[in-house]
Structure 1
Amino acid sequence: MGSQWKNMRFTYTEANLLPDNHEVNQQYKSFLDKFGEEGNLIVVGFKDSTFFNPKNLTLWENFISEIKKDKAVDFTISIEDLRVLEKDTTHQKFKLVPFINNDKISETYLKTKENELFNELPFYEGVLFNKESGAVRFAIYMNKEIVNTAARKDFVLKYLSQEKISKLEKELGVDLKVSGMPYIRTLNSQSIVDEIGLFVGAALAITSLLFFFFFRSFRATLISMLVVVIGVMWSFGTLGFLGYEITVLTAIIPPLIIVIGIPNCIFLINKYQQEFKKHGNKAKSLQRVISKVGNATLMTNLTTAAGFGTFIFTKSELLKEFGIVAFLNIIFLFLLCLLVIPILYSYMPLPKDKHLAHLGKNYTKTFITWIENTIRKHSVAVFAVAVGLLVSGIIGIYQIKVSGSIIEDMPKSTGFYQDILFYENEFDGVMPLEIMIDTKRPKGALKSATLKRINELQETIEEIPELSKPVSIVNLVKYAKQSFYNGNPEYYELPTKQEEAFILPYIKNSTQKGNENMMKSYVDSTGQYARITTFMRDIGTDKMAKIEERLQEKINKLFPEERYTVTMTGKAYVFEKGTHYLVHNLVLSLLFAILLISLLMAYLFRSFKMIIISLLPNILPLIMTAGLMGFLGVPIKPSTILVFSIAFGISVDDTIHFLAKYRQELKANNWRIKRSVYATVKEAGISMFYTSVVLFFGFSVFTLSSFGGTVALGSLVATTLLFAMLSNLILLPALLLSLEKSVATAEEFPEPSFDILAEDNEEDISEIQ
């Protein structure tokens, strides 16, 4: 598996939550075919009037000229290469001329040009400058062919690293802000990579400390750490072998393996020590570890794997990959634990009294005694609290909101996130939203009627505060009219019918061979398709849905279906649609997980009553967590929706261990319910307590993340598992006591399909020894 690490790849794009054949994805691909990758813009900006002086201009020119030479760059729009339209009456066309004349540079000249930029070039308003605040930004357009490859990372780190920008800031005396999707993706991916090591290290540290605290044995701790470290190596190897990219989801699998693997080790080692304490026979103890706990551990790992495996059946490639890798590695982990731990212990010296002392620790005795007294004397209170929590949870569920945005869960404390906020305040965001207009005929995008319709739609976009000033062919035509009238900004508007006869020939002559760049960003090569580009703030799906509804209403009014096909698309739009799709799919995934685990329970216990009893204590914590999310205002989004399937698959483990031991105690106690329940609480309760504490603190490791989604995932799963432990140790025994008669019969508990916990076998083990 280690040899497969070289095949690991890191993602270079945002997560696509929609299946490839989804209509929204198809529309986005159609847009990319016509206009290429739309997320290729990097912006470098500032809000400082002292920038415009000869010294700074020279420094900036040196900085940007180096960038322009790189093959990763298509072109730049900066102060020294800014072009303006100028009328050429001789050839009846517009030509692009430099905005700055390098031969005339002086303090006075630059102040004049700054004034001209802000007051006489409305074409660039909202695109390169904010007239009201004085903020300015320059654009770097990356090569569309390499913007989603490893070359993007190399480019960003070479020219726009923190050290490079800090050095330039000191030289300029200006606070620079860098953003744009290629830049955000690169630093976001780097944050994911950095956090893998953090999570793995923190998970190993906290689980090993807890393990040692419980067992007080370096030997047991080192064996457990060896097992989970091998499991982590296998998880990385699986990613490489399958050729999957490391995303914000698959990055949490290695630490998940640690958190899930330690409970396996606890159950196996705890059982070994319990058996050895009984009879002092190592071989017999190890044999019973495998025969008595092996099947139970297999089933608990299968249910955990099933919780993750349900993601395989969603139509999202991102979730499928996460589900496949998690499912396989949980099964691998079970095999590792069951093989490595007994083998290593078979070569180890016999456990000493200090290694077994934890089995009778006062704090565990006190906790188990409290559980026993609660279910013995306060069963009515237990059910009343359970019903109260259920009702509260359901009320809270109705207050949950759905949310999703590309940057919502990005690290809030990082410099690049603060720069995003700058561009949201000054230029209304950096996430592109595109509107593609199919006029259904060549050159239809340049028709006067189409231009007027686009202009009216842009006016609606400008009225929406969450969207930036839109850019399209209309802006260029308006700028052409202004240039026709010698740059007078009062003429920045669409030409009238009479003016078209004079101005359109200039535009057509200007777009002949050698000058295609003037229009190719706004209209495709056939002239049939036009685009409107705007940028949006980081808003929730509720606001986005209202904006979409408002725009669609205007589109339907302006563009009749028989003459136009208009589609909204872009990274932000696709992600928003993907969030809703994911929520729907993961609700189905959770229901499928419940069904699948119910079938496993039916196969194990062959009793409908036991299925119901086993599901209730595990569904209640899910409802409680969902209710808590509603009350605390934590929205349903791609990261938080994963909580329920993961937590359900893990929490059922305790139920299986408890019910397996319960059935064994029933047979040993002549089918007496009460005696069997209390005996089960005493023996299984300690391991359940240990594993739940490890799981709680293990998942709490994810709260160290700088990604909001990962923090939410970790804290919510940890909370759910804490609820689940109490539910399985208090509500489950109370249900068993209340739903059964004082004495059961063998007919009520048919033999399971296979023994989860093998019966004690007192036969001589000397042959094994």
Structure 2
Amino acid sequence: MERLADFVVNNRIKMAFVTMLMAFAVYAGIPNLKLDTDGRVFMAADNPDKILLDRFEQEFAKDDNLAIVIVPKDGEVFTPRTLGAIGAMTEELWNLPYVRLVNSITRFQNTYADGDMMVVEDLVPEPSMVTDAEAAAARAVALDRVEIRNSLINDDASATAISVIFRLPGVDLVTEIPDIISEAEPLLERYRADYPDITFKASGSVAVSQAFATASQRDGETLTPAMLVAMLVVVGVLLRSVTGSLLILILAALSALVSLGALGWTRVPINSATAVAPLMVITLAVASSVHVLSSVRQTMQQTSDRTIWARRALTDHGLGITVAVFTTAIGFLSLNFSISPPFRQLGNMVAGGMIGVWIFTIFLLPGLICWIPIRQKKDTASVDRMMVALGEFVIRNQKRLLVGIPVVIIAFAAGISQIKLEDDFLRYFDESFETRQATDLYETELGGLNVLEYSVETGVENGINSVAYLQKLDALSAFLRDQPEISHIRSLSDTIKRLNMNMNGDDPAYYRIPDTDEEASQFLFLYELSLGYGMDLTDQINVDRSSTRISAFVGYATTRQLLALDDKIQGWFDSNAPELKSPVTGQSHVYTMISARDVPSMLQGTTLALIFISFVIFLVLRNLKLGIVSLVPNLLPALMGFGLWGYMVGNVTLAVSIVVAMTLGIVVDDTVHFMLKYANARKRGDSAEDSVRYAFKSVGMALTVTSLGLVVGFAILGQSGFAVNRDMAQLTAITLAFALFVDFLFLPPLLIFLDRMKQMKISATPAALAALLSTGILAATL
């Protein structure tokens, strides 16, 4: 690296010019960036669950919806004032973009017998002029209808909902959902002002998708700047250099813009997952630049020549930075094993940003060191003195540490046994988000927003009119209603039974499936002819009438609970109607399976990344033993972090599943620099102990400053109300703290022990062998 250092420092003006010219070429892609607000961006086109969902929605309908929860403060929906508000809002909601259907308690299609005729009409035909008596009559009907109870109305008529179903064109996903929200929010605000005695809140898939899109923006406006400031303050205090913090800020900003510009050139919209990519690049830029500035801080004790500061920093740390950047990029590229496109894009964006980090650190930072005034400090930094003392402590207590640290590691890593795959996409937002408040209110007062969908096929045209089929459909409906997790189901069998009763003078004895196929067909035909505008059954019956849709609504459900519930339903099919067996689908299920499928996929990617990283370290050090040993400090922090997470939280979400791949890049940075310094000292003939001393002296300050700065920064981001950012940041902070612990207290004794084994060519002590073996077994097994 000495020749490269001389070339860069001697040609620093040219290097800066070329570097910035390349950077601005990449930055030109930033104006192409757009925000994708569609929550389905997490579903890959080749995802088998997504393919099944698409087929289901083509057969019936695509149900992107807003669920407007309405709770009168007097505890009664069926009053003239509240029904008037519901009726007026129902009519106005038809004016939102892309609306296919608006359904509410006032517009529910009520059927009843009138002599020999069947009447189909709105439950409240004139909501603005309803009387107390009419409201009471409507209440009685609504609470008797299983089709809407715990869906449009709750059991005590204290809460209701308006369901707005949209047919999104899918042409411009960047604008379609924001267009809906931009018109819906003013409408809701107006009704809140006009009816202060009624609570109005909006949930549903459209509101959740918008919340996903805006959550990262919200953090970007508050927590991300606070995180960056905290990191720079920590670095500045420990390096005792304001100018150093300024240089880091410049490099971090330039590198983050590279990741955004690169994405802009691909014309791929930014989303809630890729929105954190610039933040990741900033943290990694801090890690790289701190090594250079720590070297400058040490070199300035010997000379005031800035060119020497820059040259020595690049000579001593250039290789380590290059290897660290390359291995970090490998770690993030392993996100391409994710089945979710946004996480693949995140990995590629950060990998692209790492190229920017390397170019700016190697070719621009040396010039900035020469040009920007940095006050010379001739005294030894306090962190350096601490590192010298820590190195001596580790060498003195190497045997105790070699035996004791694995015990600590195993104790923490054992917490992995407490981890469960529990994800709830509806609650990725804390209570500060109105969407979360609305979701909790809806599921508390009305029922579930998670929906398990089944297309129950007959296999023949017009087969849904078969009495035998309808009876089995009714049996399935009864089974679903008996499940405590299910708050409401939507099934054609309920409608058919109601029609049969209506056509027999509303005799309750006829609330059952008709006796003949002809009756079922005729009743359904008459009903469909009588339905109001937009209230047809095309979202329940497919075109050739060979299949019907049955929907099970589940509240407060996690991925495990939804999968367990579907197992029970599939068991019912196997035992009672194997010929009708249908795979589960629906947006909730696809999100559930993304979590379930992504964890094993990411484990494969992370494992492959670890192998590649160890191979790179082997090529650089030309030492197979050190290449294998590098697995220990790279893997153990993640195991300890997940173990502590298991003790503290217990649940692993989709966001947490990418943390290993993400933190791997930062953890490797520490490992590479320490092992490179150790290997260089051994090559020049230093003893293992002296090599450890040299590594602590050379890079100990940089590792400490970087780790503390990043831990503090991620701890701040961990206060986010958005679970994707919060869980990722908290687990990252924990993992980085454990990485410093392992690199300082376990890796040096392990290196000394292995060198001693090689030199003495004798068997190691039983205790040391046991410590090494236990750690190896732990890493390999977990």
TM-score by length of 2: 0.87
Q: How does 1:134-213 map to 2 (within 5 A)?
A: 134-145=158-169, 150-160=175-185, 164-165=188-189, 167-168=191-192, 171=195, 173-213=197-237
Q: In the alignment, is the contact (CA less than 8 A) between 1:433 and 1:572 conserved in 2?
A: yes
Secondary structure at 1:11 match in 2: coil
Secondary structure at 2:39 match in 1: coil
Post-superposition offset of 1:364: 4.3
Q: In the alignment, is the contact (CA less than 8 A) between 1:429 and 1:535 conserved in 2?
A: yes
Q: In the alignment, is the contact (CA less than 8 A) between 1:7 and 1:240 conserved in 2?
A: yes
Is 1:32 aligned to 2:57, yes or no?
Answer: yes
Post-superposition offset of 1:378: 1.3
Q: In the alignment, is the contact (CA less than 8 A) between 2:289 and 2:361 conserved in 1?
A: yes
Secondary structure at 2:490 match in 1: coil
Q: Residue 620 of structure 1 aligns with which residue?
A: 636
Q: Residue 382 of structure 2 aligns with which residue?
A: 362
Secondary structure at 2:487 match in 1: coil
Letter in 2 for 1:553: G
Indicate how the Cα distance of structure 1 residues 445 and 148 shifts in structure 2: closer, same or farther if over 3 A, else same: farther
Q: Residue 13 of structure 2 aligns with which residue?
A: none
Q: Residue 20 of structure 2 aligns with which residue?
A: none
Letter in 1 for 2:426: I
Secondary structure at 2:351 match in 1: helix
Letter in 2 for 1:734: P
Post-superposition offset of 1:169: 5.8
Is 1:522 aligned to 2:540, yes or no?
Answer: yes
Indicate how the Cα distance of structure 1 residues 541 and 171 shifts in structure 2: closer, same or farther if over 3 A, else same: closer
Indicate how the Cα distance of structure 1 residues 623 and 514 shifts in structure 2: closer, same or farther if over 3 A, else same: closer
CA distance in 1, matches of 2:127, 2:483: 43
Indicate how the Cα distance of structure 1 residues 70 and 17 shifts in structure 2: closer, same or farther if over 3 A, else same: closer
Q: Residue 23 of structure 1 aligns with which residue?
A: 48
Post-superposition offset of 1:703: 0.7
Q: Residue 453 of structure 1 aligns with which residue?
A: 472
RMSD: 2.8
Equivalent pairs counted in the alignment come to 732
Secondary structure at 1:244 match in 2: coil
Q: Residue 404 of structure 1 aligns with which residue?
A: 423
Is 1:228 aligned to 2:237, yes or no?
Answer: no
CA distance in 1, matches of 2:741, 2:136: 73
CA distance in 2, matches of 1:128, 1:167: 19
Q: Residue 739 of structure 2 aligns with which residue?
A: 724
Is 1:638 aligned to 2:654, yes or no?
Answer: yes
Indicate how the Cα distance of structure 1 residues 541 and 495 shifts in structure 2: closer, same or farther if over 3 A, else same: closer
CA distance in 2, matches of 1:231, 1:172: 50
Provide, for residues 174-209 of structure 1, a one-character-per-residue CA deviation record: whole Å limited to 9, x for no partner. 123322111222233222322223343123211221
Is 1:571 aligned to 2:587, yes or no?
Answer: yes
CA distance in 1, matches of 2:688, 2:105: 83
Q: In the alignment, is the contact (CA less than 8 A) between 1:260 and 1:695 conserved in 2?
A: no
Q: Residue 390 of structure 1 aligns with which residue?
A: 409
Is 1:701 aligned to 2:716, yes or no?
Answer: yes
Indicate how the Cα distance of structure 1 residues 148 and 101 shifts in structure 2: closer, same or farther if over 3 A, else same: same
Post-superposition offset of 1:30: 1.1
Q: Residue 677 of structure 1 aligns with which residue?
A: 692
Provide, for residues 332-364 of structure 1, a one-character-per-residue CA deviation record: whole Å limited to 9, x for no partner. 111122222112222234x4334x54xx23354
Secondary structure at 1:435 match in 2: strand
Identity %: 19
Q: Residue 777 of structure 2 aligns with which residue?
A: none
Post-superposition offset of 1:412: 3.3
Indicate how the Cα distance of structure 1 residues 646 and 440 shifts in structure 2: closer, same or farther if over 3 A, else same: same
Secondary structure at 2:62 match in 1: coil
Provide, for residues 724-752 of structure 1, a one-character-per-residue CA deviation record: whole Å limited to 9, x for no partner. 1121122222122222139979xxxxxxx
Decide which of 499, 506, 531 is 2:523's aligned counterpart. Answer: 506
Q: Residue 103 of structure 2 aligns with which residue?
A: 77
Letter in 1 for 2:699: A
Q: Residue 589 of structure 1 aligns with which residue?
A: 605
Indicate how the Cα distance of structure 1 residues 105 and 328 shifts in structure 2: closer, same or farther if over 3 A, else same: same
Q: In the alignment, is the contact (CA less than 8 A) between 1:283 and 1:346 conserved in 2?
A: yes
Q: Residue 562 of structure 2 aligns with which residue?
A: 544
Q: In the alignment, is the contact (CA less than 8 A) between 1:313 and 1:320 conserved in 2?
A: yes
Letter in 2 for 1:78: S
Q: Residue 63 of structure 1 aligns with which residue?
A: 89
Indicate how the Cα distance of structure 1 residues 476 and 724 shifts in structure 2: closer, same or farther if over 3 A, else same: same
Indicate how the Cα distance of structure 1 residues 557 and 485 shifts in structure 2: closer, same or farther if over 3 A, else same: same
Q: Residue 392 of structure 2 aligns with which residue?
A: 373
CA distance in 1, matches of 2:642, 2:214: 32
Unaligned runs of 5+ in 1: 746-769
Is 1:653 aligned to 2:678, yes or no?
Answer: no
Deviates more, 1:384-393 or 1:431-440: 384-393
Letter in 2 for 1:550: K
CA distance in 1, matches of 2:137, 2:356: 67
Secondary structure at 1:442 match in 2: coil
Decide which of 314, 317, 327 is 1:293's aligned counterpart. Answer: 317
CA distance in 2, matches of 1:344, 1:577: 49
Q: Residue 99 of structure 1 aligns with which residue?
A: 123
CA distance in 1, matches of 2:729, 2:206: 28
CA distance in 1, matches of 2:552, 2:445: 14
Unaligned runs of 5+ in 2: 1-25, 761-782
Letter in 2 for 1:452: Q
Q: How does 1:746-757 map to 2 (within 5 A)?
A: none
Q: How does 1:267-306 map to 2 (within 5 A)?
A: 267-306=291-330
CA distance in 2, matches of 1:517, 1:59: 21
Indicate how the Cα distance of structure 1 residues 486 and 44 shifts in structure 2: closer, same or farther if over 3 A, else same: farther
Indicate how the Cα distance of structure 1 residues 701 and 234 shifts in structure 2: closer, same or farther if over 3 A, else same: farther
Secondary structure at 1:478 match in 2: helix
Secondary structure at 1:741 match in 2: helix
CA distance in 2, matches of 1:615, 1:663: 16
Provide, for residues 710-729 of structure 1, a one-character-per-residue CA deviation record: whole Å limited to 9, x for no partner. 21211111111111112112
Secondary structure at 1:40 match in 2: strand
Q: Residue 321 of structure 1 aligns with which residue?
A: 345
Indicate how the Cα distance of structure 1 residues 120 and 442 shifts in structure 2: closer, same or farther if over 3 A, else same: same
Secondary structure at 2:461 match in 1: coil
Q: Residue 240 of structure 1 aligns with which residue?
A: 264
CA distance in 2, matches of 1:472, 1:169: 37
Secondary structure at 2:330 match in 1: helix
Q: Residue 375 of structure 2 aligns with which residue?
A: 352
CA distance in 2, matches of 1:149, 1:314: 23
Q: Residue 550 of structure 2 aligns with which residue?
A: 532
Post-superposition offset of 1:7: 2.4
Deviates more, 1:299-308 or 1:532-541: 532-541
Indicate how the Cα distance of structure 1 residues 391 and 200 shifts in structure 2: closer, same or farther if over 3 A, else same: closer
CA distance in 1, matches of 2:563, 2:99: 35
Deviates more, 1:53-62 or 1:459-468: 53-62
Q: In the alignment, is the contact (CA less than 8 A) between 1:484 and 1:503 conserved in 2?
A: no
Indicate how the Cα distance of structure 1 residues 123 and 547 shifts in structure 2: closer, same or farther if over 3 A, else same: closer
Q: Residue 753 of structure 1 aligns with which residue?
A: none
Post-superposition offset of 1:391: 2.5
Letter in 2 for 1:68: W
Deviates more, 1:429-438 or 1:606-615: 606-615
CA distance in 2, matches of 1:103, 1:565: 43
CA distance in 1, matches of 2:299, 2:758: 28
Provide, for residues 341-393 of structure 1, a one-character-per-residue CA deviation record: whole Å limited to 9, x for no partner. 112222234x4334x54xx233541x324422322221122122222123324
CA distance in 1, matches of 2:500, 2:242: 81
Post-superposition offset of 1:688: 1.3
Letter in 2 for 1:534: A
Q: In the alignment, is the contact (CA less than 8 A) between 2:391 and 2:696 conserved in 1?
A: yes
Provide, for residues 195-236 of structure 1, a one-character-per-residue CA deviation record: whole Å limited to 9, x for no partner. 223343123211221222123333222222111112222222
Indicate how the Cα distance of structure 1 residues 70 and 699 shifts in structure 2: closer, same or farther if over 3 A, else same: closer
Indicate how the Cα distance of structure 1 residues 294 and 259 shifts in structure 2: closer, same or farther if over 3 A, else same: same
Q: In the alignment, is the contact (CA less than 8 A) between 1:133 and 1:426 conserved in 2?
A: no
Indicate how the Cα distance of structure 1 residues 485 and 149 shifts in structure 2: closer, same or farther if over 3 A, else same: farther
Provide, for residues 6-60 of structure 1, a one-character-per-residue CA deviation record: whole Å limited to 9, x for no partner. 3223233335656533432322121011112123343332254444444444444
